[in-house]
Amino acid sequence: MIRLAKPNIDERDCAAAVEVLKSGYLVQGPRVAAFEDSLLAMTRAPHAAAVSNCTAALHISLAAIGVGPGDIVICPAYSWLSTANVIELCGAHVEFIDIDPHHFSIDSNHLEKRLKSLMSVGESARRVKAIFVVHPFGYLADMKPLLEIAGRYDLPLIEDAACALGAERDGIAAGGAGVMGCYSFHPRKIATMGEGGAIVSRTPELMRVLKALRNHGLDPEADSPDFILPGFNYRLTEMQAAIGVEQLKKLPEMLATRRKLAARYNELLSGIVEPQHVDSPSFTTWQTYTVKLPVDSVDQRDRVMAYLREREVQTTIGTYHMPMTSYFRSRYGFNTGDFPNTDDVFARTIALPLHEELTEHELSIVKDTLIEALKAAN
Ligand SMILES: *Cc1c(COP(=O)(O)O)cnc(C)c1O
């Protein structure tokens, strides 16, 4: 079986976790602080808080700026469900925006148009509270136009950089351009400790609130315990943080390997399928290597995936068309055609195996099997 993904866990990761277990200090202590320091070095953000997963990070990003019932938060249509779910969980309205058909991130022209109309009416203008930007499959969205639009309307831009830790553009790390940036360390991401997340921010006031929100409302700056708001328990364990420190040490190496493998895939698959457009290798982590199949038919995608599965090549769809999932479709009444780029990308995109142990031989098996699958599906 050629696996879609494979966590990169070695003896040092194991030893780090065992050492913590024997230490008797298991939750949010010195290893969490060390993990946050590693993250700051990597992202060059001034403040970081480790949390239990990226969904928790996204949730407290909205809670920290007071998003609540009646508010509106902008969100791209194509992402893992967390991005939209946390908006709903705050009681706010999700304003989905279509994506760019080549890079799959929020389309700045669509964003601009929608904001212009929302902000021209006093009632809705008062309700819009934030913009989520997702870096799909680790590809860092072009932040310049997005920051310009957000700045014009004085709206905080929050980065869902779940897959993008280590990507960089114009000297700025993924997660570091917005008011807040959120990361995931789930096994399907590149650096992992089973579950895990983090949030970075440029403003110390915001970080104080974020740290209180992750820990029952406890003021992170008070000398004797004081509670400044109703918080969650979104803490990370010391075992996870100790593994996280080891994972971040080898992340640059993992990224270099993935970039090499993705470049090789691009060569092998040229003219057969269309890989996600990447303007420069450093812009992405290749958390997932996705390709668009040549004919736009959902049937074909599923048949191609079934063919590959039968021949022991593991694949999956890219990510989700959130407005067309049962919950959002029935709650908001969306139809096919409301987000045409997302319709097409969702219907035609599959993720191919990519992990650091993949060999040249396996890459060519994936290529040959994909060619056969495309023939068989037609
Ligand atoms: C994985 C992922 C998340 C959720 O991360 P968890 O750590 O599993 O909560 C959120 N957004 C995106 C874009 C993701 O890929």
What whole-number distance in Å separates Cα of residue 70 and Cα of residue 307? 46
Reported as a single tens digit per residue, the pLDDT across 34-50 is: 999 999 999 999 999 99
Q: Tell me which of 82, 158, 320 to substitute to probe ligand 1's pocket, judged by most ligand atoms within 8 Å of the beta carbon.
A: 82
> Worst-scoring range by mean pLDDT, 39-43, 294-298, 302-306, 332-336?
294-298
Question: Rounded to the nearest whole angstrom, what is the distance from the C-alpha of residue 53 to the centroid of ligand 1?
Answer: 8
Ligand 1 atom 8 nearest Cα: 186
pLDDT of residue 244: 98
CB 214 within 8 A of CB 51: yes
Query: Which of 332, 298, 349 is CA-nearest to residue 103?
Result: 349
Burial 219-242 (b: 16+ CB within 10 A, else e): beeeeeeeeeeebbebbbbbbbbb
Q: Which atom, in ligand 1's list, is nearest to the CA of 185?
A: 7
Calculate what percentage of the chain has a pLDDT beyond 90: 98
Among protein residues, the one with the nearest Cα to ligand 1's atom 5 is 54
Nearest ligand 1 atom to the CA of 79 is 13
Query: CA 28, 56, 212: angle at the middle one, nearest 5?
Result: 55
Per residue in 183-217, pLDDT tens?
A: 999 999 999 999 999 999 999 999 999 999 999 99
Q: In the predicted model, is pLDDT for residue 298 greater than 70? A: no
* HSE of 44, CA atoms in CB hemisphere, 13 A: 9
User: For residues 347 and 301, is the Cβ–Cβ distance under 8 A?
Assistant: yes
Provide the pLDDT for residue 361. Answer: 98
pLDDT above 90 for 3: yes
DSSP lists the bridge partners of residue 106 as 99
3-state secondary structure 294-333: CCCCHHHHHHHHHHHHHCCECCEECCEEHHHCHHHHHHHC
Looking up tokens 């000398």 gives 223
Digit-coded pLDDT (tens) for 120-131: 999 999 999 999
How far, in Å, from the CA of 16 to the mean position of ligand 1? 25
Q: What is the pLDDT of residue 297?
A: 64
Q: From the alpha carbon of 58, which atom of ligand 1 is closest?
A: 10
Question: How far apart are the CA of 236 and the centre of ligand 1, in A?
Answer: 16
Per-residue pLDDT at 378: 78
Please, which pLDDT band fits residue 296 given cuts at 50, 70 and 90? low
Residues in the ligand 1 pocket, defined by CB under 6 Å:
53-55, 79-80, 82-83, 134, 160, 162-163, 184, 186, 197
Query: Using one digit for the tens of pLDDT, what is the confidence trace for 338-348?
Result: 999 999 999 99
The pTM score is 0.98
Percent of the chain with pLDDT over 70: 99
Read off the pLDDT band of 295 (50, 70, 90).
confident
Centroid of ligand 1 to alpha carbon of 84 (angstroms) = 11
In whole angstroms, what separates CA 88 from the centre of its chain? Answer: 18
pLDDT exceeds 80 at position 250: yes
Give distance in angstroms: CA of 372 to centre of ligand 1.
Answer: 33
> Two tokens at 46?
């001034």
The answer, yes or no, to whether residue 330 has pLDDT greater than 80, is yes
Average the pLDDT over 88-99 and give the result. 98
